[in-house]
Amino acid sequence: MTLADRYPLLYTPARWEWGGLDVQFSTDLPPDELVTNIHVVCFVGDRIVLCRDDRDVWFLPGGTREAGESIESCVIRELAEEAGAELAGPLHPFGAHYATTDRPTPYRPWQPHPHKAWLWCTADVHLTGTPTNPEDAEHILEVALFPLPEAISRAASDGPHLPDLLTLAASLH
């Protein structure tokens, strides 16, 4: 049985209308220059870290790379901003959503256009404080740890692919 058979919602081509994006998941990792966003399935033991924002949506920490920022530097910054967390071990990329946008210009001037990738990783983390909540980012109201079934239930509202993505990440962790 292939991964696409085991995780059909994750592998189904999708439209992310909020970004004018047509996306397709793959475990083939993208070249660094295509990665515009990195999100991390963070583990504290066997529990998963989720963040809740002011829209009352639970999501995985991560976000957009800044100009010249490495993948690891982006992860370190985003974990502090959104989860009040620090890496407790290595970052493990396990897949990406390859995207093509129909927008006429890139989201940020330094980003590749029209093709880009969202990198998905796993990592063990320590929750070390409160999210820094910069003014130009999501406003995080809560950070919590959940066993896999509850993390799946809560994160499902952030995208139909997330239950499969979390299940795959947990199987690789």
What pLDDT digit, counting tens, does each position of 87-138 carry?
999 999 999 999 999 999 999 999 999 999 999 999 999 999 999 888 877 8
Looking at the domain 3-172, which fold is it? Nucleoside Triphosphate Pyrophosphohydrolase (3.90.79)
> Does 2 have pLDDT greater than 90?
yes
Give the confidence band of 31 by pLDDT, cuts at 50, 70, 90: very high
DSSP letter string over 105-161?
A: S-SSTTS-SSEEEEEEEEEEEEE-S-----TTS--EEEEEEE-HHHHHHHHGGG-TT
pLDDT for the residue numbered 14: 96
Whole-number Å distance between alpha carbons of 173 and 84: 21
The 3-state secondary structure of 57-72, one letter per residue: CEECCEEECCCCCCHH
Give the confidence band of 158 by pLDDT, cuts at 50, 70, 90: confident
- Domain ranges for the chain: 3-172
